[in-house]
Amino acid sequence: MFAANADYGVRSAPGTTKFTPQQLAEFNGTDDSKPVYLALKGVVYNVSSARKMYSPGSGYAVFAGKDASRALGMSSMKPDDCVADYSTLNAEQMETLDKWVLFYQKKYDIVGVVSN
């Protein structure tokens, strides 16, 4: 697991680090020396164990380095849908998003939260 350190500009303990959207974007899989993160509902997950799936050119690369809440709720792979605001999701889409959140909670470590 990624250990928080000054090399990444992250100084908080794992699970408590606060990221701005701009900071989160730095962990998009383009730099092999950094972990790969994505967020759902403002919670940041370390998906580095599946780096191949989230690296540029891969299927889920569109989600890396972003809060992809709306996109996953909509089952969308469109970059324009990869935004934190999921307030426009209908009940069925919210259920889909909640299922994704449960999946990520079981599979990946939480490293922090997104805050403006």
- pLDDT tens digit string along 76-112? 999 999 999 999 999 999 999 999 999 999 999 999 9
80: its two tokens? 């324009």
3-state SS class at 73:
helix
pLDDT (tens digit per residue) in 4-27: 333 444 444 556 799 999 999 999
For residues 103-112, one letter each, b for 16 or more C-beta atoms within 10 angstroms of the residue's C-beta and e for the rest, the string is ebeeebbbbb
Strand order in the sheet with 43-46: 17-19, 109-114, 43-46, 37-40
Pairing of strands 37-40, 43-46: antiparallel
28: its two tokens? 């998009």
The pTM of this model reads 0.86
| Angle at the Cα of 61 from the Cα atoms of 57 and 65, rounded to 5 degrees | 135
Please identify which residue in the block is written with the tokens 């891969």: 58
State how far the Cα of 41 lies from the Cα of 70, in Å rounded to an integer: 9
3-state SS class at 64:
coil
